[in-house]
Amino acid sequence: MAAHTLLDKPLQFSSLLAISLFLFLVPSIAELQRFQQSAKADGSLSFLVIGDWGRHGLYNQTEVALQMGTIGEKLDIDFIISTGDNFYEDGLTGTDDPAFNESFIDIYKAKSLQKLWYNVLGNHDYRGDVEAQLSPILREKDSRWICSRSYIVNAEFVDFFFIDTTPFVDKYFINPGNQTYDWKGILPRYQYLSRTLEDLDSALKDSKANWKIVIGHHTIKSAGHHGVTEELLVHLLPILEAHSVDFYVNGHDHCLEHITSSDSKIQFLTSGGGSKAWRGDINWWNPDELKLYYDGQGFMSFQMTQNTADMAFYDVLGNILHKWSISKEAISTM
């Protein structure tokens, strides 16, 4: 890789903090790409969330996909969300990489999963030809596939904000080790991150939806192997809190997890159990906040209406590990 210029060099917290503060003073003129998603005729919305999955069916990926198909049919889901790390170990080599078939098309074959898949990129995706996953060629191969760096899905009473979190993480730039990352479209990094935060801030401010859900690959709060992502805690979380986001949903830690917070209304949800899991490590977290930590494979579901949200976490056998319900009335009194 070529040496970074001064504009491309890793950003420390103080630089990005200035960006975050600047966003609240200057209106945005940029706009994220938007997709429209219809709710059901009865006004409800159902979907599944899976992350960290693409391993050619190995590490129980196929078994998780089977249970997703069963639960997806039972809930009559409208779409699927992927929280990133879509193809291991090093993303796709190009749009003709057989991994797209072997890890996606050939695995998620159930009738109920033949719905749109809204994907974000993870750090492993950036270790391949990242633009391959963004290419319309993949959509031509499988019409379910939707992937962009950052974008919005308007689903009537819910707005989903998909955010490209990998470029926020300093270590991928400062100390990548033996890994090579595809930063095409990212450099100069300062400008890319500034624009991403500005676009999100503006879109959240303009949202009139009852529910706001932000999806990114990296954790904000987690008791798992990777733990807290400090860059997002410092720079992304204040924007989410300022605009009353209801849920932050991520992958990255290969587990299933639900964290509440005594100082925030946001529910922090990890769905990163799409294949390889069972790391066997967990960091201490306040038990009053840690509602679920499951160090294994699985996925989660949402069932939503204008005023209610019901979520559930499932293991590789389809057993329910944890359920949580919340209403807009309850949130307004928190």
Nearest to 323 by CA among 313, 315, 333: 313
4 is catalytic: no
Q: Is 85 annotated as belonging to a binding site?
A: yes
Q: Is 254 annotated as belonging to a binding site?
A: yes
What is the distance between the alpha carbons of residues 90 and 96, in angstroms, rounded to a whole number? 15
What is the distance between the alpha carbons of residues 80 and 118, in angstroms, rounded to a whole number? 6
Task: Find residue 158's DSSP bridge partners.
Answer: 155, 211
Q: Is 164 annotated as belonging to a binding site?
A: no
3-class secondary structure per residue, the chain: CCCCCHHHCCCCHHHHHHHHHHHCCCCCCCCCEEEECCCCCCCCEEEEEECCCCCCCCCCHHHHHHHHHHHHHHHCCCEEEECCCCCCCCCCCCCCCCHHHHHHHCCCCCHHHCCEEEECCCCCHHHCCHHHHHCHHHHHHCCCEEECCCEEEEECCEEEEEECCHHHCCHHHHCCCCCCCCCCCCCCHHHHHHHHHHHHHHHHHHCCCCEEEEEECCCCCCCCCCCCCHHHHHHCHHHHHHCCCCEEEECCCCCEEEEEECCEEEEEEEECCCCCCCCCCCCCCCCCCEEEEECCCEEEEEEECCCEEEEEEEECCCCEEEEEEEEHHHHHCC
Q: Is 129 annotated as belonging to a binding site?
A: no
Q: Is 123 annotated as belonging to a binding site?
A: yes
List the catalytic residue out of 124, 218, 226, 258. 226
Q: How far is CA 291 from CA 90, 123, 225, 267, in A?
A: 33, 27, 17, 10
Q: Is 217 annotated as belonging to a binding site?
A: yes
Q: Is 52 annotated as belonging to a binding site?
A: yes
Please answer whether residues 173 and 10 qualify as being in contact, where contact means their C-beta atoms are separated by less than 8 angstroms: yes
Binding-site residues, in ranges, read 52, 85, 88, 123, 217, 252, 254
Binding-site residues for Fe cation, in ranges, read 52, 85, 88, 123, 217, 252, 254
- Annotated catalytic sites, by residue? 226
